[in-house]
Amino acid sequence: MERVTLLPALAGAAGMVFVGGSVAVSGALADAPMFTVQAARYAVACLLLVLFVRLTGRRLVRPRGTDWLWLVGVVLTGMLLFNVALVLGSRHAEPAVLGVAVACVPVLLAVAGPLLEGHGPAPRLVAAAVVVTGGAALVQGFGRADLTGLLWAVVTFACEAGFTLLAVPVLGRHGAFGVSVHACWLAAVVFAVTGLVWEGPGALGRLGADDVLAGAYLAVAVTAVAFVLWYSCVERIGSARAGLLTGVAPIAAAVAGVALGGPVPGVMVWLGVAVVAAGLALGFRAAPSGRAPASSSPPSRTGRASPDRAGISRCPGQDRADVPPPVSSGRGSMSRR
């Protein structure tokens, strides 16, 4: 792996570990009002992020013009519709079907991500994405679904990709912290309004102690921390290469299941882990001598690196979770955000 990609890749992988490990935690929210919990989660995460930004002397940039369209797109697809699709899809498809749909996202990121960043897809990264997708599918397993379930799986796939792709155009201007903060407060508003309409104004009072603890973990680890880690990774190494790291999430989910007393994974899961590792090795191996690594750092629109707020040179490029296979939505399906 090129030295320049090591720390961003570790950040992205850590974010996916939080996402995958949260599957078991989210099960505690099975009977909780989903929209209200999500609203509280994003509100708390936003406050934590803003506090950290203030304490570290960073500066948040106010969205302007088309920034609003991209940020609202991230929230509506990668957060709101994503969770709705998981809940409704779980009524017509087994969780593994939705998980496999999400596992296909690296391929789309490898193709569409570079186009949004201003350059063409790298064949090696596309091939690595196909390998990672296959491995993640083996880890997830395959389930049954009717036609409606398959349609919701397609929606889940599109929304998961939207969480990252729709953030590409605004990462250059807002950075990982800016995109995370604006996405969180927008999501808090959207979920609060939706919860007020569908669950009523008293939904927050129906939360128990377990619901609060699970929601707090999602707010801190899977939102405030994982969002910044993920968007920092995408910003530094590009969405195509970062997308390969989504294969870490189902592996983390399997490990967390064992740690919480679940059965030891079978042969197919271990085979899937090996395939994911092979895909990551292919995507992150050093480029041949004398050639620049493909898509390791997305170029800016001006062709020059833009100065980071901390004084480190960076290139704008490209969110959630929202996802890799995501955290449980609380109704037997997989959810990440």
Per residue of the chain (337 residues), give pLDDT as tens. 555 568 899 999 999 888 877 766 666 676 788 899 999 999 999 999 999 999 999 999 999 999 999 999 999 999 999 888 887 887 888 777 877 888 889 999 999 999 988 889 999 999 999 999 999 888 888 778 888 988 988 998 999 899 999 999 999 999 999 999 999 999 999 999 999 999 998 898 888 888 888 889 989 998 999 999 999 999 999 999 999 998 888 888 788 777 767 778 788 888 989 999 999 999 988 655 444 444 444 544 333 333 333 333 333 333 333 333 433 333 333 444 6
Instruction: Decide if 331 is inside a domain.
Output: no
How many whole angstroms separate alpha carbon 81 and alpha carbon 83?
5
CA 102 → CA 183, 277, 292, distances in Å? 21, 18, 30
Instruction: Decide if 229 is inside a domain.
Output: yes
Instruction: Decide if 336 is inside a domain.
Output: no
pLDDT of residue 3: 53
Instruction: Decide if 274 is inside a domain.
Output: yes
Instruction: Decide if 319 is inside a domain.
Output: no
Number of neighbours of residue 229 by Cβ within 10 angstroms: 23
Residue by residue, DSSP assigns 28-43 as GGTTS-HHHHHHHHHH
Instruction: Decide if 323 is inside a domain.
Output: no
CA dihedral defined by 13, 174, 1, 336, rounded to 10 degrees? 20
How many whole angstroms separate alpha carbon 334 and alpha carbon 320?
14
Count of the separate structural domains present in the chain: 1
Which residues span the domain enclosing 137?
3-314
pLDDT of residue 2: 52
Instruction: Decide if 88 is inside a domain.
Output: yes
Instruction: Decide if 333 is inside a domain.
Output: no
pLDDT of residue 174: 96
- Burial (0-12, 13-18, 19+ Cβ within 10 Å), 60: middle
CA 83 → CA 179, 287, 292, 297, 320, distances in Å? 20, 38, 39, 31, 11
Task: Give per-residue burial for 235-255: e unless 16+ CB within 10 Å, then b.
Answer: bbbbbbbbbbbbbbbbbbbbb
